[in-house]
Amino acid sequence: MPKKFLLLQLRDDLSAEHEVKMIKKNGDFSIKDLVVINTLRDPSKVPQPDELTNYQGIITGASGQYDLSCLTKTSEKKLQKVKPIFQEIIKKDIPNLAICFGHQYIAQIMGGKVKADKHQAETGTYKIYLNKAGQNSPLFDGCPKSFYAVLGHKDSVTKTPKNLKKLASSTRCNLMSYQVSKNIYSVQFHPELNKDGLKWRMEQYPQYLKGTTIEKVMAKFKPTPYSKKVISNFKKIARQSH
Mark residue 56 as left, alpha or beta (left: phi above 0; alpha: psi -120 to 50; beta: remaining).
Answer: alpha
> Out of 103, 122, 173, 192, which one is annotated catalytic?
192
In eight-state DSSP terms, residue 15 is: H
Residues 6+ apart with CB under 8 A from 26: 191, 192, 193, 194, 228, 231
Q: 100 an active-site residue? A: yes
Rounded Cα–Cα distance for residues 183 and 106 (Å): 13
Rounded Cα–Cα distance for residues 20 and 231 (Å): 13
Q: 19 an active-site residue? A: no
> Out of 100, 103, 122, 173, which one is annotated catalytic?
100
Q: 192 an active-site residue? A: yes
Rounded Cα–Cα distance for residues 214 and 80 (Å): 34
Residues 6+ apart with CB under 8 A from 123: 151, 152, 153, 202, 208, 209, 212, 217
> Out of 18, 103, 153, 190, which one is annotated catalytic?
190
Q: Which residues are the active-site residues? A: 100, 190, 192
